[in-house]
Structure 1
Amino acid sequence: MFRIPFLILLCWGSAINAASLLPLWDSSYSGDYGGNGGKRFSHAANQQDGPITAIRIHIDSNYIVGLQVRYGRHWSEYIGGSSGEREEIFLHKGESVIQVTGRYGSYVQRLVFITDQNRTFIFGNDAGTTFNAAPIFKGTVLRYFTGRASSYINSIGFHWGDYPKNVPNCAERGNL
């Protein structure tokens, strides 16, 4: 006997199309910018803590050494090496990163974060191949980072999506 899966019957019987079962948000990815070395890292799980509210960057005279990001009120694990000077930025309530430019070679050499409140934060050395990362979908923001790291940040990628609305204390921009 031929059986039609329950989901198909449900959709067919109630005139629900497949597109209506997809999430109501848009996401995109930019990267990996940099070299192939190092160990892979991902902050995908961290985005559940809320929007990006602060970024710590360790830099030396040539490279981006390390990265740590605060999602909501919680800091991610530190990624990268132990050398370099630490610099950090704190975003205003409701502020989001909407573009990242930079430079890379075998390692990431420069990161420039641009926010939706027209603030620009520059880290690192102005050498290497240039990249420009921005979301594909209008109104989406930087949600989390991925890449590869060793004693430096070897490569970096940027994941864009809607500003989180289903995270405790994040129902509206500015609740952090």
Structure 2
Amino acid sequence: MIFDKVFLSFHRMLLFAVLAILPVSSWAGYQSATDTYSFSPPVGSGSGRSFALTGSGRITAVRVWEAYSNYIFGFQFRYGYIWSNVSGYRHGQAQEITLFDGEFIVQISGKYAHYVEWIVFTTNMGRSLYAGEPHGHSFNMYPTNKGAELRFLSGSVQGAITSVAAHWGVLAVPHNVTNKHI
């Protein structure tokens, strides 16, 4: 009888320990998942309609439309082999960069006033795409997590782009997948 009480007591303690540890381990998994994402808040006036330029997978190319070497009018990303819709307008001259295998956007900088007037996308390989004219207040956006890259843009447009915000994340890419063209 004493053995049964000790045995039950041991199992209750074991059950209590497992139940106490389970939420902590779940929280630790949750925290590590959220540590792979960061957000750079919007810059610019923010007037007009909002947009979100999103897609699936890694960004493999970027297009930016500028007019008169001044305002930024539109953005378009290619995710893998598929071009997104244009956020903003296809107005003026398009500037474009195609990324190499393993290359991704790690910084967005530029200048803004009412509109976003100048923007620079910089990659982990040191290459950059410049569009617009450097007038206004400076901004600099980058991920807060090691290995993170630009996942999507959001912002506002009213004629030209009035605000832009960056969303960063660590992309989980299977080891056998590349950006190579077939």
TM range (shorter): 0.7 to 0.9
Query: Which letter does structure 1 place at the counterpart of 2:62?
Result: I
- Decide which of 127, 132, 149 is 1:124's aligned counterpart: 132
CA distance in 2, matches of 1:75, 1:171: 23
Task: From the CA coordinates, give the structure whose radius of gyration is larger.
Answer: 2
Say which of 89, 94, 112 aligns to 1:86.
Answer: 94
Q: Output the TM-score relative to the length of structure 1.
A: 0.81
Structure 1: gaps spanning 5 or more residues: 1-8
Root mean square deviation of aligned Cα:
2.2
| Correspondences of 1:146-157 after superposition (within 5 Å) | 146-157=154-165
State whether residues 46 and 157 of structure 2, in contact with CA within 8 Å, keep that contact through their aligned partners in structure 1: no
SS of aligned partner of 2:19: helix
Partner of residue 69, structure 1: 77
Residue 136 of structure 2 aligns with an amino acid whose one-letter code is: G
How far did residue 172 of structure 1 move?
4.3
For the residues of structure 2 that align with 1:130 and 1:81, how far apart are their CA atoms?
Answer: 23
Deviations 1:91-114 (A, max 9, x none): 011101111110001111111111
* Residue 58 (structure 2) pairs with residue 51 (structure 1): yes
SS at match of 1:98: strand
1:103 alignment partner in structure 2: 111
Using the TM superposition, give the Cα deviation of residue 174 of structure 1 relative to its aligned residue in structure 2, in angstroms. 4.0
Which of 154, 157, 173 is matched with 1:165 structurally? 173
Partner residue of 1:133 out of 133, 138, 141: 141
Query: Which amino acid is the alignment partner of residue 53 of structure 2?
Result: H
For residue 22 of structure 2, give the secondary structure of its aligned residue in structure 1.
coil
Residues 148 and 156 in structure 1, CA contact (< 8 A), matched pair in contact too: yes
How many angstroms apart in 2 are the aligned matches of 1:149 and 1:171?
Answer: 39
Measured after TM superposition, the shift of residue 12 of structure 1 is: 2.0
Structure with bigger helix share is 2
Question: In structure 2, what is the Cα distance between the partners aligned to 1:175 and 1:87?
Answer: 22
Residue 60, structure 1, aligned to residue 60, structure 2 = no
Corresponding letter in the other structure for 1:71: Y
Number of aligned residues: 161
Residue number in structure 2 paired with 1:33: 43
Q: Is the 8 A contact 2:38 2:167 kept in 1?
A: yes
Give aligned-pair identity as a percent.
Answer: 32
Q: Which amino acid aligns with 1:63?
A: Y
1:81 touches 1:150 (CA, 8 Å); kept in 2? no
8 Å contact from structure 1 (residues 51, 164) kept in 2 = no
